[in-house]
C-alpha cells in the first residue's frame, strides 16, 4: 500500500516480495540523515521555524497517506527522518509504516480491541483500543510537536498519563 503513495515526504518503497527461503523483503529508498528523536536528544528542542517546517512536511506526508485511506498508527519522533539539504535546510521523510492500516471504502474506522503504536504519542482512543480514524495520526503529530518544541512528553503533563495508567 505504501508503494502506491508517491510523495516527497514519504520514504519510497520500490519492491517487496517473498524469497524461496520464506523470508519477506522490502526494497526502500536509502536515507542519509537521522531521525527526529536522535536530533532532539543530541541538540535539544527545535526552534519554532524548524518545528514549523517539520510539521508542514510531516503533515503533507500524512495528508498523502490519508488520501489513500492509510492510517500510519505509529507517528513518533523515531519515524520522522530528517535529511540535510545543501542549503542548510532539511527534508522530512515519514518512515516505518509497519503498523499502518488501510481503511476500506465501506469502513471509516479501524476495529477496536487491539492496542498498537507507541504509548507516549498515541491518541487516547488508540491507547484505549477504541475505534479510530485519521484524526488519531493528527493527535500523534501534535504530541510530536509538543515534544520537539519543549523536549518533554505531552503525556507526562496531561490527563493522558492517567488514561495510560488505567489500562
74 is catalytic: yes
Cα(92)–Cα(78) distance, rounded to whole angstroms? 12
* Residue count of the chain: 167
Cα(99)–Cα(75) distance, rounded to whole angstroms? 10
Q: Which residue in the list 15, 20, 74, 96 is annotated as catalytic? A: 74
Cα(46)–Cα(50) distance, rounded to whole angstroms? 6
Q: What are phi and psi of 31, to 5 degrees?
A: -110, 140
Helices assigned H by DSSP within the chain: 36-43, 48-67, 124-127, 135-150, 160-166
Q: Which three cell numbers stand for residue 11?
A: 520514504
The catalytic site residues sit at 74
Amino acid at each position: 500500500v505504501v508503494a502506491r503513495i508517491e510523495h516527497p515526504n514519504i520514504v519510497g518503497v520500490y519492491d517487496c516480495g517473498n524469497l524461496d527461503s520464506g523470508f519477506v523483503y522490502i526494497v526502500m529508498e536509502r536515507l542519509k540523515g537521522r531521525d527526529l528523536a536522535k536530533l532532539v536528544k543530541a541538540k535539544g528542542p527545535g526552534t519554532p521555524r524548524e518545528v514549523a517546517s517539520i510539521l508542514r512536511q510531516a503533515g503533507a506526508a500524512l495528508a498523502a497517506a490519508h488520501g489513500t485511506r492509510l492510517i500510519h498508527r505509529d507517528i513518533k519522533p523515531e519515524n520522522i527522518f530528517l535529511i540535510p539539504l545543501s542549503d542548510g535546510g532539511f527534508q522530512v521523510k515519514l518512515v516505518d509504516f509497519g503498523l499502518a492500516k488501510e481503511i476500506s471504502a465501506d469502513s471509516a474506522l479501524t476495529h477496536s480491541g487491539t492496542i498498537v503504536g507507541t504509548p507516549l504519542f498515541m491518541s487516547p482512543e488508540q491507547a484505549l483500543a477504541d475505534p479510530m480514524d485519521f484524526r488519531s495520526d493528527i493527535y500523534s503529530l501534535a504530541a510530536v510537536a509538543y515534544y520537539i518544541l519543549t523536549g518533554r512528553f505531552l503525556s507526562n503533563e496531561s490527563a493522558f498519563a492517567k488514561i495510560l495508567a488505567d489500562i
